[in-house]
Amino acid sequence: MATKRTVDVSVSTTGLDKQGRPQRVPLVVDESGNVTTMEAPPALEPELEGEHMLINLGPQHPATHGVLRLVLELDGETVVRCIPHVGYLHCGFEKIGEYRQYNQIIPWTDREDYLNSPGNNVAFALGAERLFGIEVPERCKVLRVIAMELSRIISHLVWLGTTCIDIGAFTPFLWSFQERERVYNLLEKWCGARLTTSLTRVGGMMADIPDGWMDELRGFVQTFPKTIAEVDRMITRNGIWVGRTIGIGAMTATEAVNYGLSGPMARASGVAYDVRKDFPYLDYETYDFDVPVGTSGDVYDRYLVRMEELRQSVRILEQASARLPDGPVNIDDPRIILPPKTKATTEMESMIHHFKVVMEGPRPPIGECYVAVESPKGEKGYYMVSDGTSKPVRWRIRPPSYVNLSAIPKMVEGHLLSDVIAINASIDIVMGEIDR
């Protein structure tokens, strides 16, 4: 419920609290509901007051995670103002979507948020299926949940590794990439690609899982928490990590909702908004998992939320692998689903069928839909409009990290230049998704 909330800002050296987290000094909200997210910087000595300086960070900079460009106005080392420039990776995804059939768009969804390819494939297929008015079999739903959670794990692992490098720790990068390679092996066995998976089709999956795949998944699920625990032991109470993250870039819950933040960014601020819980899809309401919520919305809380989400993903994977039913993965509709490859190359009728489906493409009725899923970055939405032809009139991507990044001028204000790197890393930006 709506209450006055406190925001913790500064690091105290008094030790750990009951939960084992470093203690913080809370600042109370004033009467009008304003929260001072940071202690006011000490007034400058008159003779030290100097000229402001504009610094160009990016577009080619190792800490901008791609080609983001920030123009920072500095007073000494304190950021007075930040002007982000995006668009250096604008590749016209939405335009190309108007020229491709629904199944042909799926390879583009791989490359737009490329850390989360399987999740995007599933999200796009969900949207297209809503537009076609079809529902996939149970087995397909569970396989899609597995794909989404695996992609959440690999995306958070990249976030963890790169953020650790940005803040000064190199080892977790190697550990997380080692775990990523194990997920890559799983995905490679399933669909043949490591990164750009194109895992789904409209009305089903690109392929069923191969024999023995479930056992390997269970092996991964059993051993992966050990790595999380190692990283946790190494970083969570590390003095440097704590000092560089606590109280940095805090957003209150009100601000987070108003700025449109979603995903771990919003949850770290105390907004328990998770699309899987609030607007479920793929029967997520039947899985037992928790939504971690932070209190102060700073970089440290975002880190804690993402670490907990890794554990919750493992929980969901456990349940999904236990309940995977037998049966078909594709719907039974020859107007949408291609005939099996062996038939298409040996039987004339199947070949003609294959040719018709590929060249003409399945046609949805006139309509539109907005389907949102919980991607590792937040609420990822696909808005599709059909005018009855085989290609959408409009394929709109609602990019969560684009909206999250738009709050960066607010977050970095008053912090030091080196904190900008930590804040920028904590947003978990993927330029492919931001610029599209």
**Shortest distance, position 3 Cβ to another protein, whole Å:** 8
d(CA 125, CA 200): 7
The total number of residues shown for the chain amounts to: 436
Half-sphere exposure of 323 (CA within 13 A, CB side): 19
* Residue 275 CB coordination number (10 Å): 21
Place of tokens 């007051």: 49
Closest separation between CB of residue 13 and another protein, Å? 31
Q: Which is nearer to another protein, 25 or 54 (CB)?
A: 54
Q: What does the DSSP assignment read for 224-289?
A: HHHHHHHHHHHHTT-HHHHHHHTTSS---HHHHHHTT--THHHHHTT----HHHHS--TTGGGS--
CA distance 200 to 432: 20
Rg (CA), the chain: 23
- Nearest approach in angstroms of CB 337 to another protein is 20
Tell me the closest approach of the beta carbon of residue 94 to another protein, in angstroms. 6
Provide, rounded to whole angstroms, the least separation between the CB of residue 187 and another protein: 13
Q: What angle do CA 323, 324, 329 make, to 5 degrees?
A: 150
Contact in structure between 74 and 83 (CB atoms under 8 Å): no
Alpha carbon separation from 14 to 17, 300, 364 (Å, rounded): 9, 18, 63
For the chain, the distance separating the N- and C-terminal CA atoms, rounded to the nearest angstrom, is: 37
Cβ proximity to another protein, 126 vs 337, nearer residue: 126
User: What's the min distance (Å) between Cβ of 16 and another protein?
Assistant: 27
Which is closer to another protein, CB of 99 or CB of 355? 99
Which stretches does DSSP call E strand in 260-377?
367-375
Nearer to another protein, 22 or 203 (CB): 203
Tell me how far, at minimum, the Cβ of 70 lies from another protein, in Å: 10
Specify the residue, 22 or 119, whose C-beta has the smaller distance to another protein.
119
Q: Which is nearer to another protein, 56 or 222 (CB)?
A: 56
Query: What are the φ and ψ backbone dihedral angles of 358, each rounded to 5 degrees?
Result: -75, -45
Q: How far is the CB of 11 from another protein (least distance, A)?
A: 25
Specify the residue, 160 or 242, whose C-beta has the smaller distance to another protein: 160
Whose Cβ is closer to another protein: residue 6's or residue 23's?
6
